[in-house]
Amino acid sequence: MTRQKIINIAVIAHVDAGKSTLVDAFLKQSGVFRENQEMVEQVMDSNDQERERGITIYSKNLSIQYNDIKINIVDTPGHADFSSEVERIMKTVDTVILLVDSSEGPMPQTRFVLHKALELGLRPILFINKIDKKDQRALEVVDEVLELFIELGANDEQLEFPTLFGVAKNGIAQFNMDTPSENLNPLFETIVTQVGTYPIKLAEQPLLMQVSTLAYDSFIGRLGIGRIYEGVVKEGQTVAISRSNGTVKNARISKLMVYQGLKRVAVSEAYAGDIITFAGIEDIVIGDTISDPNNIRAMDTIHIEEPTMSMNFLVNTSPFAGKVGKFVTSRNIKERLERELEVNVGLKVEPLENSSVEGFKVLGRGELHLSVLIETMRREGFELGISKPEVVMHNDAQGNLLEPMEKLIVNVPVEYSGTVINKLNQRKGLMLDMDSDGVRDKVTYNIPLRSLLGFRSEFTNDTHGEGIMVRSANGFEPYKGEIESRLNGVMVSMANGKTLAYALGNLEERGILFVAPQTEVYEGMIVGQHSRDNDLDVNPTTGKKLTNTRSSGTDDSVKLTPFKKMTLEQALEYIQWDELVEVTPIDIRLRKKWLTQNERKQHRSDKK
């Protein structure tokens, strides 16, 4: 294998800024696809949930060829909940392309990903995307990004960042707003000029690389992915593995692959600067350092931000348990979570203590981070009972209780902003900034993370679906005190059986239904939201009494309002301390922790 000139870059941005679209354009213009080959949009978002949700969840690698230079590109998630995916790959790249929307400007997650890049001494390239928007303000946005660089403590070299403008969707990049372009060549030229290729002489040093990502292949087992910082790796080579706990062991690399376009291609050796995938080390984990056995070295472990939210993953104990799921025992759940810990570095798992139900406390970076895991397990055939999400509190050196805060930006039509601001104030939010163009208001808040549990669906209703809400972690602050949670009680089934339209028609007057006619229910299952603040025990299986006498008029058929079908995220946001979400491969149900009326009365005094 001839030694190539190599540059490694990552594309970072806030969610929806156009990262995956830019990667599509890179692939198209570098000739990875044949002219007659149909190209799928967001080709890197290959996971089912990524396609369904329209977001990037996992960072992924590919490579393109520009003249005689191989450019390895890492597409990263933009959502704050998957920031651990961003953090660990930053060390594998030479520079980052920071995408910013030409009208939105820097958003909360932009700050987070940029901060990580600057901390590692990278010199970012700014790409102002979507300059074809009618409301674009590209030059203002450049100034805002410069202010952000200064706020984050960028050094003089980093402040001299090159700026390009373009439309990723059309595969266009230009040096300034007045010089049109037909392709991405200005961006390619800037990457080469800004970074330079990886020093070839480092290939002559003893081997040094670090594992940043893991993958799995059903034929060859666990795969490690990482960048070679120094030296050469060869197929069949014996290497030393240095662990974070200080232990060292020798192992043999059985298979070696590099990226060519979207594919992994087997090679006999790879050189310093390249990102490789290797097999043969079954117990490899993220952060392990691989070096020459005759020159053992250990790199700093990859630091990941602490989890901010937890949920309990419990064994499903409902009367319907085991009817559709393949994996229902605590042993199944434990094994699956242990597998997830190997690749999902932002996750932590603890055994539940003093619990009447078997299960595990799972800690992650947010609701979306954890709900993606739950949805993945559900599709694999698991059944689970999930508790109300709780924020992870901390204590400072003086023993004061601290809670995680979020920077929240809401963009809403003017007529709805009063309602939204009022609700955020009630939830202990502190307004930092407000801007209006007469049509929409953009409001920035510093607000406790727990205040936002259950707020998204309320926000959607209050703004009639026209509001935009984005958020990112904003450190820890002293505990803000009690915050009002859900104001409504629920309607709880007191019977087992199938729901009937006649019974549901009567219950409609009491609130909002969560079930349709002919739905199997059990005692303790939540069938609707009560219009008042107390829980109501109801019988949704009651039929109409039949008599021998015919009424003088014809009975009208029951016409029901469409029931409210909750997604997994909505269900997790909705439940209270004494409720669970029952997750199965087919259904998502809401239920009480204690199914019978007597049990609930006994535990009412336990309310937090």
The pLDDT of residue 424 is: 93
The pLDDT of residue 372 is: 86
Is residue 121 part of an annotated ligand binding site?
no
Split at pLDDT 50, 70, 90, the class of 34 is: very low
How confident is the prediction for the chain on average, in pLDDT?
Answer: 85
CATH fold match for the domains 5-198 and 394-478:
no
The pLDDT tens digits of the residues spanning 171-193 come to: 999 999 988 889 999 999 999 99
Split at pLDDT 50, 70, 90, the class of 43 is: very low
Domains of the chain by residue range: 5-198, 201-291, 394-478, 490-606
Is residue 21 part of an annotated ligand binding site?
yes
Is residue 18 part of an annotated ligand binding site?
yes
Is residue 463 part of an annotated ligand binding site?
no
Min mean pLDDT across 5-19, 138-152, 191-205, 395-409 is at 5-19
**Fold entry, domain 394-478:** Alpha-Beta Plaits (3.30.70)
14, burial (CB in 10 Å: exposed 0-12, middle 13-18, buried 19+) = buried
The pLDDT of residue 212 is: 84
The pLDDT of residue 549 is: 53
Is residue 537 part of an annotated ligand binding site?
no
Contacts 24+ apart (CB under 8 A), 19-24: 19/56, 19/75, 19/76, 19/78, 19/99, 20/44, 20/45, 20/56, 20/75, 21/168, 21/169, 22/97, 22/99, 22/127, 22/129, 22/168, 23/62, 23/73, 23/75, 24/168
The pLDDT tens digits of the residues spanning 49-81 come to: 544 555 545 556 788 888 889 999 887 765 555
pLDDT of residue 44 exceeding 60, the answer is: no
Is residue 130 part of an annotated ligand binding site?
yes
**Average pLDDT rounded to a whole number, residues 410-431:** 93
Is residue 17 part of an annotated ligand binding site?
yes
Split at pLDDT 50, 70, 90, the class of 354 is: confident
Min mean pLDDT across 300-304, 400-404, 567-571 is at 300-304
The pLDDT of residue 125 is: 94
Q: 3-state SS of 474-513?
A: EEEEECCCCCCCCCCCEEEECCCEECCHHHHHHHHHHEEE
The pLDDT of residue 35 is: 47
**Average pLDDT rounded to a whole number, residues 407-420:** 91
pTM assigned to the model:
0.76
Split at pLDDT 50, 70, 90, the class of 36 is: very low
> Who wins on pLDDT, 13 or 607?
13
**Fold entry, domain 490-606:** OB fold (Dihydrolipoamide Acetyltransferase, E2P) (2.40.50)
The pLDDT of residue 102 is: 92
CATH number (2.40.30.10, 3.40.50.300, 3.40.50.720, 3.10.400.10) of 201-291 reads: 2.40.30.10
Domain 5-198 is found in CATH 3.40.50.2300: no
